[in-house]
Amino acid sequence: MDLPRVLGIDRKQIIDLKKKKEKYHNRQTETRISIGANNFDLILGGGLCSGNVYLVFGDPRTGKTQLCHQICLQGYKFFSDKFKPLDQRVILYFDTENTFRPERINQLAEYAKIASDPLLKCIVVSNLLSNAALLKSFENIEDLLRKEPIRIFLIDSINNHYRSEKSSHESTFNKAKNELISILEAICHITHKYDLITLLTAQVSPNFMESAIIKELPVGLPYLNHYFSEEIYLQHKEGKKCYAHIVNSHKLPERKLLYKITKQGIRDFKI
């Protein structure tokens, strides 16, 4: 299945969409949502911006899934202030690792002193057990985006099934690679067309370059690298200390700031 053809687009259109990114970035009506931690917002130029695709990568101790849960909370708070009451679904969450936890959403809502039931109702969660399932999920995604006011799109993680399904056998590797590229093309298409805030997490493998500042790299980096507005590297240092490091951006400077993971969510680490 050729996903761009399923969506009615081709690779030339994807290239044209990439060339139009500046138009989306410079919109006066852009939506910008806080992460809920000042240091994260600082490296992102004030928070997550509509029309952008963010890639967040780091090892399992760095809070990638926690960040996705926290964005659900922050998105709900933001849109509840704009639309009262918020009784529509505004967050689409693709879970490829079976790590979405309603109980964690409940816990974050309790700390934030908001009701968890309406928060959970505003999230559309889809559990995807293979790359083929992830690819097929895009066949009807535009129908959902036309029916529901989805504003935030999260995938945790984008390369989980690619990592497990690729092998040394050339045909299997090419199939996994082509599926991943088609998925990435579709993500860019719907993000720009519907002006979404899109954030994808990525699993990593060790960077074997000597003296490398970036100790881990996303699995499938040669294919992932062409599709993102910003790439953020999460690194655990010691104890509760972690770094968020923006390493590749279309318009933001490289910057690294501290954070920690707490029961209340991701917070600034203060020295």
What local confidence, expressed as pLDDT, does residue 1 receive? 40
Q: Which class would CATH give 3-29+49-236?
A: alpha beta
Domain ranges across the chain: 3-29+49-236
Name the H helices within the chain: 3-6, 11-19, 21-25, 38-43, 64-82, 102-112, 116-121, 131-136, 141-147, 160-165, 170-193, 221-224
- pLDDT tens digits for 108-132? 999 999 999 999 999 999 999 988 8
What local confidence, expressed as pLDDT, does residue 172 receive? 81
Report which of 263, 255, 238 is spatially closest to residue 45, judged by C-alpha positions: 255
What local confidence, expressed as pLDDT, does residue 118 receive? 93
d(CA 184, CA 64): 19
Show the tokens assigned to 173: 């590797």
Q: What separation in angstroms does the CA of 254 have from each of 42, 232, 245, 246, 248?
A: 11, 10, 7, 5, 7
- pLDDT tens digits for 203-259? 999 888 877 788 899 999 888 888 998 999 999 988 889 999 999 898 899 999 999
- pLDDT tens digits for 130-180? 888 999 999 989 999 999 999 999 999 999 988 877 765 665 888 888 999
What local confidence, expressed as pLDDT, does residue 169 receive? 67
pLDDT over threshold 70, residue 8: no
Q: What separation in angstroms does the CA of 238 have from each of 43, 73, 201?
A: 21, 27, 22
pTM: 0.87
Average pLDDT value over all residues in the chain: 87
- Per-residue confidence at 82, pLDDT binned at 50, 70, 90? confident
pLDDT over threshold 50, residue 26: no
Measure CA 25 to chain center: 17
